[in-house]
Copies of this chain bind each other. A is one copy, B any other.
Amino acid sequence: MTAPQFKQLRRAYGFDEVAIVPGEVSLNPELVELGLDVGDHHFDIPFMASAMDAVVDPSFAIEMHQCGGLATLNLEGVWARYDDPDSLLQEVASASRDESTSILQNAYQRPIREDLVARRIQEIKEGGAIASVAVTPMNTKRFAPLVQEAGADILVVQSTVTTARHESTSLEGLRFEKLLDSIHIPVIVGNTVGFNATLEIMRTGVAGVLVGVGPGAACTSREVLGIGVPQVTATIDCAAARDFYYRESGRYVPIITDGGIRTGGDVCKCVAAGADGVMMGSPFAATTEAPGRGYHWGMATPHANLPRGVRVQVGVRTTLQKTLFGPTSRTDGTENLVGALRTAMAMCGAHNPREFQQAEMVIAPAIKTEGKIYQFAQADT
């Protein structure tokens, strides 16, 4: 008779539970180099805007390119279903909280139009920007040729959970190896968590991996499905897979932490935990450049019979320029994210993200006072 077997649970950590520890060396911030490479594309800053309808439209993508980062357009959202989604976005913003989910569910019933898919890509290209567009695995075989033909530079294949081995009812589901044989632009795949799942995806030849399941502000995967991994642990696990694959193959596949990032502190913790870049929704949704009028929602929010996510109100608070580069008088970490990353790296003696990935981190829960999370800070009221 074998011994009883009890399921073992590992502790996972989120942003509010960790902190970065300075080391023995410090730098002047001017000595810090940022930057991120995806395929042959170089980005001056490792910041990406999420493929959310309320965050990225073609003009936002152009602005983001001019700032040195990358914004990805969702090709299965309102920009691909409506000639002009402006009045729809206004309706969503005006709705009560209770109505908002069903309005979104209705809006996404309208079919995706292939002419709009092509037109949005062209609009981004006409603005001089790198065109990055997102489709779900289910629609990838249908849209990938179209996307490439329309001139897209980067294809993002994204769903809540994407694996290298998906079983479907159709004769053959999406296989990334076959997809990569058929198109010549870099493909970023996500989302994933876990060492093995990430390693398998990297071995298919993709150009980047999006890390994060269930941690985003617009996501209720944990409430509805019980699924999710706090982002610091998710990033650490996937960084281990990236480094393992790099030693195995000599190919360096960047990982981009996606979901739940709200402050400069969160950005710094992502990179210190092992990320090469960050993808964010909330902070960009709050800019005047975003089309969402101070609201945003995730891609699973409009799901017809099991919505997972809510419309989140962030307000229109600032500009994209100030969000990324400041200067700012805000002290809550929501502006000058690039400056914050540069400063934190300097304090830790890191010349580049790769060095910052080696920073020591501690588990250091935020202090909770008066029902609000304070990270060791308490303002006057």
Contacts and interface: CB of A to CB of B under 8 A. Distances in A.
Contacts of A343: 225, 306
A250 interface: no
Nearest to A300: B331
B331 A19 contact: no
Interface residues of A, number: 138
Contacts of A183: none
A280 to B, nearest CB: 14
A58 interface: no
Given A331-B307, A370-B371, A375-B222, A194 B360 contact: yes
Nearest to A220: B377
Contact of A7 (B26, B267, B274): B274
Contact of A227 (B20, B237, B371): B20
B331 A101 contact: yes
Interface string A164-197: 1111110001000000000000000000111111
A347 B227 contact: yes
Contacts of A307: 328-331
A20 B25 CA distance: 34
Interface string A140-172: 000000000000000000001111111111000
Contacts of A228: 19-20, 364, 375-376
A104 to B, nearest CB: 9
Interface string A321-365: 000001111111100100110011001110000000000111111
A367 B23 contact: no
A368 interface: yes
Contacts of A309: 331, 377
Contacts of A13: 9
A269 B376 CA distance: 17
A9 B363 contact: yes
A9 B301 contact: no
A161 B27 CA distance: 10
Interface of A: 1-2, 4-7, 9-14, 16-28, 30-31, 97, 101-102, 105, 160-169, 173, 192-197, 200, 213-230, 232-233, 236-237, 239-241, 243-244, 247-248, 260, 263-269, 272-274, 295, 301, 304-313, 326-333, 336, 339-340, 343-344, 347-349, 360-373, 375-381
Given A224-B331, A311-B380, 10 more contacts: A16-B367, A26-B165, A27-B167, A215-B376, A222-B265, A222-B376, A223-B264, A223-B332, A225-B333, A226-B268
